[in-house]
Structure 1
Amino acid sequence: MTTRTIARTNSGRILELLRARGPMARADVAQATALSVSTVSRLVAEMLGSGLLVQSEDGAVTGGRPTRHVRLNAAAATTLAVDIADHHTQVALVGLDGTVLRERTWVPDAAEMTGDARLAHTLDVIEQALTEATAYDAGEHDNPRCLALGVSVPGPVTSAGVVRFSPSLVWDDLPLGDLLRERFGLPVAVANDANLIAIAESRVGDYRDAASLFVLAVFDGIGSGIVVDRALWPGNAGCSGQIGRMLLDSTAIANVYVGYGDLERQLGSVGLARRAADAGIAIRPESDIFAQLFTSTDPAARDLSTLVLDQFAAALVNVCALIDPEVIVLAGWFAPLADHLHGELESRLTGRVLSVPRIAPESTGHAGALLGAAHVALDTYGALSQLLD
């Protein structure tokens, strides 16, 4: 192995370390990589010169001088993260260090909300976003190269990027990954939205030190993402976490479920709106139905709220019995209601599970599915040492 090859390998190790841990002092990089401080300093200097790294004097003051931390340069390269949600499409241009550089939301017309029309709208949105990305002024690096595309979808997705089904989008067995690769010529990662929220929380969220966590993502449907031993657990066919397909009771076994499962038909936002209407509860359709229901003083609304929380808790008791998560992360419509839901759910779990997990809201500060999509996009791009070429 030549000296140049060794240097490239070690530079790649430093890049991967900084991606995983964020800003670090050179001495800490040396300790983590088992390289000498002088070697790290030389390689870091080269990458500072090329623009892959930047440094800041934001560390602890030692001996009268602040410790200089180095980190990946957000402007050196980007990924495009896309969240194809039930009623909108959100796109973020994400820097190499995970910083969201630009974010935009498109709302399809009613005729474009589902099926082939939604696919065409999505492709147009991505094309426009990539065009805008090439014109992005990133300071030292004008027009940073977009390395890969990460896409979040509300439904189970195979490892090949095939959307098995998405009831809200009316997609079935859609080879979205192949379509995007052929259209845009970039590495592409397509994944389930709840799984991507779980990836974001486990890598950059407040719960990244948790050995296991469970994301409960409540939208039109209900999904979840499972992290065990600090890694996403996708299941045999990429279908783990489909909590919306749980059966609320034994009577549901008589039915066959195409699209939405039993639990989400009752507890997702669409199903809950139907139940509220059946109970004569006035709901403003343009507002969050969960917030309206859980904060209402109307007796009928309070009764339905109690039943709904009991049903969610029953599902979570089963989850805890199976995977014993350290943290349950509330996402989607539940995230802004976490302060209210924490006590309601914790009291229902207490005495029914052997270990009551921490219950907390999403913590990443952005749409978790977007950040997760950016992470898997960069995973798909491959080794960061490619940026040294």
Structure 2
Amino acid sequence: MAKRTRATATTSTLARVNQTAIIEALRESGALSRQQLGVKTGLSPATINRLTASLIDDGLIVPAGQEPSTGGRPSVLLRYAGSSRLVAAIQLRAETVTGILVDFDGKVVFRRSVTLGARQAGAEGGGPDGDGADGGGTGAAPDQDRQLRKVFRLFDDLIATADSMGTPCLAVGIAVPGVVQQPDGVVGTMPEFGWTGVPFGALLRERTDLPVIVENDANALAYGELHAGAGRGLSSLVALFLENGLGAGIVANGELHRGARAEAGEIGYLLMERSSLERSYDARGDLEDRIGSLALTQRARERGMPIPASGSLTAEDVFELARTGNTDAQELADEILDMVAIAVAALVIVLDPELVVVGSSFVGSSDMVIPGIQERLRGRIIRVPRIEPATHREDAVLLGAAELAAAEVNGFAYLAF
């Protein structure tokens, strides 16, 4: 077995860590003087002067006027040049793919969504959607090829739109509902799309020279909350993401924890009781078979509950129906909360995070979900953690993907806690 060696910080790495601290101080507080930056970051005046000069040369920070004079020479204020820099972010969901252009201050300046449509056995490429417009196939099955072409077109449109705005796109972050092998961006099984082992990162990098980051959606949510949301300033958190499937993004020691095979946080596979050992699971696990969208839709049909026009029921739909007094929905909502509380308990006991963030289908119902989880956990685990809804609500995953892209461009670096 190869001997593990302890990582060391080179001079260049330390400079990147300190530059990151300066940029994040400016992003959080707005324009600051060099002296104020020193107070915020704890860096020496000489280090602040040297690194801010370098960041100005790189166009990452710019002068922003002067502090009001108090009798002496007024100090020059510096601000992060976020509005002059754009990244693209894309989120794949079961029926749609959404793309945004967002500046480095977190402001969304362009948005477009494309309907992917349900999987169609034997569907052909091309046709009225213009799916053959990009030329050449991907070697995928016809239906997968049709979906990929729609994603490719949105990917190309975002980059072209940024160019037309006079602010070229600097990187692209993609969030997908599946396990992603890093750094190649190979996506594992995604039942919603019928994809398995798609070399998504390689296919996208063939279309551009820009940095392309492909990440699991729950991981993107966790990363966004860590750097631009409820987890800012923390070193550990768990982001729970329930939509069609169920997953958790894990941050430990200030970094995403993906595990040995990038499968950390796949909590849909948690075994919930002894009867779970009586069967095996492939594309979906035991917990997801209980509270994933497919399971909820089937159980709702069995109980005669109304189903949305999309034909798919989410946890949020169940909670909204429960609010109207629908008895069946109230019972199903309680079952969902029971299962989620058990999953959160497992995560908290093993990981001991400072924060649990709930997103996606939970976001609109956080006034029911968070108190419901806390009530179920109180007195049953050592300590009930702080639990909060995703800061950026429905855009939380997209903005997390944008944060990942921005970090790639800025060359952000962090010290392990």
Superposed pair shares fold, TM > 0.5? yes
- Per the alignment, residue 70 of structure 1 pairs with 78
Distance 1:252 1:12, change over 3 A: closer
Amino acid at match of 2:150: H
Alignment partner of 1:238 is 2:262: yes
- Per the alignment, residue 21 of structure 2 pairs with 17
Q: Per-residue displacement from partner, 1:70-97 (whole Å, max 9, x unpaired)?
A: 2221243322111112221111212234
Amino acid at match of 1:25: S
The separation in 1 between residues aligned to 2:275 and 2:247, in whole angstroms, is 22
Distance 1:308 1:43, change over 3 A: closer
- Per the alignment, residue 368 of structure 1 pairs with 396
Q: How high is the sequence identity, in percent, across the aligned residues?
A: 29
Amino acid at match of 1:94: V
Q: Per-residue displacement from partner, 1:88-114 (whole Å, max 9, x unpaired)?
A: 111121223443332222223446896
Contact 1:211/1:228 (CA < 8 Å) preserved in 2?
Answer: yes
Contact 2:89/2:399 (CA < 8 Å) preserved in 1?
Answer: yes
Amino acid at match of 1:39: N
The 3-state SS of whatever aligns with 1:36 is helix
The separation in 1 between residues aligned to 2:387 and 2:194, in whole angstroms, is 32
Alignment partner of 1:267 is 2:291: yes
Match of 1:53 among 61, 68, 71: 61
Distance 1:360 1:178, change over 3 A: same
- Per the alignment, residue 198 of structure 1 pairs with 222
Structure 2: state its 5+ residue gaps.
1-11, 124-142, 413-417
Contact 2:159/2:168 (CA < 8 Å) preserved in 1?
Answer: no
- Per the alignment, residue 207 of structure 2 pairs with 183
Contact 1:246/1:262 (CA < 8 Å) preserved in 2?
Answer: yes
Alignment partner of 1:172 is 2:176: no
The separation in 2 between residues aligned to 1:84 and 1:67, in whole angstroms, is 46
Structure 1: state its 5+ residue gaps.
1-7, 137-142, 385-389
- Paired residues in the alignment total 369
Contact 2:52/2:61 (CA < 8 Å) preserved in 1?
Answer: no
Q: Per-residue displacement from partner, 1:173-215 (whole Å, max 9, x unpaired)?
A: 1111111111222221100001000000001102212332111
- Per the alignment, residue 5 of structure 2 pairs with none
Report the CA distance between 1:262 and its aligned residue.
1.9
Distance 1:57 1:352, change over 3 A: farther
Contact 2:222/2:249 (CA < 8 Å) preserved in 1?
Answer: yes
Distance 1:300 1:37, change over 3 A: closer
Match of 2:231 among 195, 202, 207: 207
Q: Which moved more, 1:299-308 or 1:146-155?
A: 299-308
Alignment partner of 1:128 is 2:136: no
The separation in 2 between residues aligned to 1:311 and 1:212, in whole angstroms, is 23
Amino acid at match of 2:78: V
Match of 1:248 among 272, 293, 299: 272
Distance 1:366 1:40, change over 3 A: farther
- Per the alignment, residue 325 of structure 2 pairs with 297
The separation in 2 between residues aligned to 1:348 and 1:299, in whole angstroms, is 20
Report the CA distance between 1:64 and its aligned residue.
8.8
The separation in 2 between residues aligned to 1:130 and 1:264, in whole angstroms, is 36
Contact 1:247/1:262 (CA < 8 Å) preserved in 2?
Answer: yes
Taking only aligned residues, the RMSD between alpha carbons, in angstroms, comes to 3.2
Distance 1:343 1:30, change over 3 A: closer
Amino acid at match of 2:56: M
Contact 1:152/1:369 (CA < 8 Å) preserved in 2?
Answer: yes
Q: Per-residue displacement from partner, 1:234-290 (whole Å, max 9, x unpaired)?
A: 111111111111122222223332222221122022211211211233344457523
Q: Per-residue displacement from partner, 1:302-332 (whole Å, max 9, x unpaired)?
A: 2222222112212221112111222211100
Distance 1:37 1:383, change over 3 A: closer
Contact 1:177/1:189 (CA < 8 Å) preserved in 2?
Answer: yes
- Per the alignment, residue 340 of structure 1 pairs with 368
The separation in 1 between residues aligned to 2:411 and 2:332, in whole angstroms, is 51
- Per the alignment, residue 181 of structure 2 pairs with 158
Contact 2:230/2:388 (CA < 8 Å) preserved in 1?
Answer: no
The separation in 2 between residues aligned to 1:239 and 1:103, in whole angstroms, is 30
Report the CA distance between 1:18 and its aligned residue.
3.8
The separation in 2 between residues aligned to 1:271 and 1:297, in whole angstroms, is 22
The 3-state SS of whatever aligns with 1:225 is strand
- Per the alignment, residue 358 of structure 2 pairs with 330
Amino acid at match of 1:336: G
- Per the alignment, residue 415 of structure 2 pairs with none
The separation in 2 between residues aligned to 1:368 and 1:151, in whole angstroms, is 13
Q: Per-residue displacement from partner, 1:216-245 (whole Å, max 9, x unpaired)?
A: 111011111111222211111111111111
